[in-house]
Every structure is written in structure tokens, then in C-alpha cells.
């Protein structure tokens, strides 16, 4: 993206803008395809129809990226993911919820750190809205529910 933005002269501004928009759309399509590769329509339907923890656990385990547990985000990065949950784009909502799921899974190397950042970013309120939004994609709703559950689990684990 940066290479496209820096290429060309200022006289080519319109052309550069069109190229950048095309690159953004292509990048979002690739990101969406990646997130959707973790989506099992039957499992998501079951989770949407049930409040049973087993349904959410099944999705968590099938969507888990082991290496994500080694990543450590800053407060600003977590804040950007939370802001993406407010974005009207269904793709951005799903991607943000998926990323926050990865960072909040109990047992992750930096999960406690990320949970603290999520609490500081007032994420539970935004996650509740995202999980109940009528126009949000099913994946975004379910991933948001799982992140809320993960936040609750971390809170329970931290009690004396």
C-alpha cells in the first residue's frame, strides 16, 4: 500500500488515488477470505441459535491461530480494532472481532495484557453492540460474543 501511495508525481494524484482505492479493496477481499476460511456455516448457525458454551468453544478452537498468542499489541492497536467494530463495513467488523478473539483467548501468552487493554478501551460495551447488531455479519456477532466470554473468563480467573 505504501509503495503505491509513494509512486508517481503529484500530477498523477487522481490516478494514484484510484490505484490506492483498488489496492485497499483487494487487500480487504484477501483479509475477508482469510477470516472466512475459519468460518464453518453450520457451527456459526448452531452458535447463533444456542447460548450453550460448547458451541462457542467449538468455534474458538476451530478459529484459533496458535501463533497469534505470541503477539503483543499496544493500547493504540487494540483501540483501532475496537474502532473497527464500530465501522459500517461488514468486512471490517468481522476482521476486528476475529483479531480480538485471537488476542483474548485464555491461555495465550499475552491474553491478560490484551484483556486489560480491551477493558481500558471500553471494548465490552462496543462488543455487546456488535454482537447484537442486526446488520452485522453472523461471524462478527459470534466472534464478538466469544471475546465477551473471554473477557468474563479472564475476570473470573483473576478473582482471589
N-terminal to C-terminal alpha carbon distance within the chain: 48
**79-94 residues labelled b (16+ CB within 10 A) or e (exposed):** bebbebbeeeebbbbb
Q: Quick one: pLDDT at residue 47?
A: 87
Q: Quick one: pLDDT at residue 156?
A: 64
* 8 A C-beta contact, residue 86 and residue 131: no
Q: Quick one: pLDDT at residue 6?
A: 47
CA 56 from centroid of its chain's CA atoms:
15
C-alpha cell at position 48: 447463533
The whole-model pTM stands at: 0.80
Tens-place pLDDT, residues 36-45 = 888 888 888 8
Q: Quick one: pLDDT at residue 50?
A: 80
Q: Quick one: pLDDT at residue 30?
A: 87
CA-nearest of 83, 101, 108 to 145 is 101
* 8 A C-beta contact, residue 122 and residue 151: no
> Low-confidence residues of the chain, pLDDT below 70?
1-18, 156-160
Q: How many CA atoms lie within 13 A of 88 on its CB side?
A: 0
Amino acid at each position: 500500500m505504501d509503495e503505491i501511495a509513494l509512486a508517481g508525481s503529484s500530477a498523477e494524484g487522481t490516478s494514484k488515488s484510484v490505484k490506492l482505492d483498488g489496492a485497499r479493496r483487494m487487500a480487504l477481499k484477501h483479509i475477508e477470505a482469510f477470516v472466512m476460511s475459519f468460518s464453518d456455516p453450520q457451527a456459526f448457525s448452531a452458535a447463533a441459535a444456542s447460548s450453550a458454551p460448547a458451541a462457542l468453544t467449538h468455534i474458538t478452537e476451530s478459529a484459533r491461530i496458535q501463533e497469534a498468542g505470541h503477539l503483543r499489541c499496544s493500547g493504540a492497536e487494540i483501540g483501532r480494532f475496537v474502532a473497527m467494530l464500530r465501522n459500517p463495513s461488514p468486512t471490517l467488523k468481522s476482521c476486528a472481532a476475529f483479531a480480538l478473539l485471537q488476542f483474548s483467548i485464555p491461555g495465550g501468552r499475552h491474553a491478560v495484557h490484551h484483556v486489560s487493554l480491551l477493558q481500558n478501551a471500553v471494548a465490552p460495551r462496543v462488543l455487546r453492540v456488535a454482537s447484537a447488531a442486526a446488520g452485522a455479519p453472523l461471524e462478527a456477532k459470534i466472534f464478538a460474543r466469544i471475546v465477551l466470554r473471554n473477557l468474563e473468563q479472564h475476570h473470573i480467573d483473576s478473582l482471589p
